[in-house]
Amino acid sequence: IKSMPRHLLVQIMESATGKKVGNLSNDEMIKEIGQYKQQALTEGLKSLPYKELLNVITKLTQMNDELFMEFSKNSLIEPLTRLGKNEIAEHMQVIDKDLIIKLMDELPNNMLAMVNTMIDQDKLTEVLQKYHADLLSSLAE
């Protein structure tokens, strides 16, 4: 919050309290925001533009990765639906393969269907022929 531009601090405060901020300095606004009850702070944060809210969430979770446990599965997956297939596949390369398999087990059917459409059928065939010929032969029986 300390790194936020003034207009976003004003937006949080005005949404949380319903009052105009006036001539408070950034430091005064940050101090006041720090004293808000959770519900008021949540209302203020929800008023931020989507990208700004994602930046806040990203910074908070970088500071404390256990905060991810506070989010529902859908709220974590929903931003992925805004990405194109290529962007999703590109970002998946940095994730451990075992973790990807566990993640796929958790995907709802509509997301699993989306992942399925991203698979290059020719590449899949090539990999199966090269590394899993036994699987292909058992399927042919």
The pairs formed by 60-64 with CB atoms below 8 angstroms and a separation of 24 or more are none
Give the separation between CA 111 and CA 59, rounded to whole angstroms. Answer: 26
Give the separation between CA 71 and CA 64, rounded to whole angstroms. Answer: 13
Please state the domain extents for the chain.
1-71, 74-141
Indicate the residue type of 81: T
- Contact, 107 vs 77, CB < 8 A? yes
Residue of 80, 73, 122 whose CA lies nearest to 102: 73
Q: What is the pLDDT of residue 132?
A: 81
Give the separation between CA 11 and CA 48, rounded to whole angstroms. Answer: 7
pTM check: above 0.85: no
Q: What is the pLDDT of residues 69-110, one digit of tens each?
A: 888 878 777 877 777 777 777 777 777 778 877 877 888 888
Task: Report which secondary-structure segment, H or E, holds 98.
Answer: helix 97-106
Regions of the chain with pLDDT less than 50: none
Give the separation between CA 5 and CA 55, rounded to whole angstroms. Answer: 12
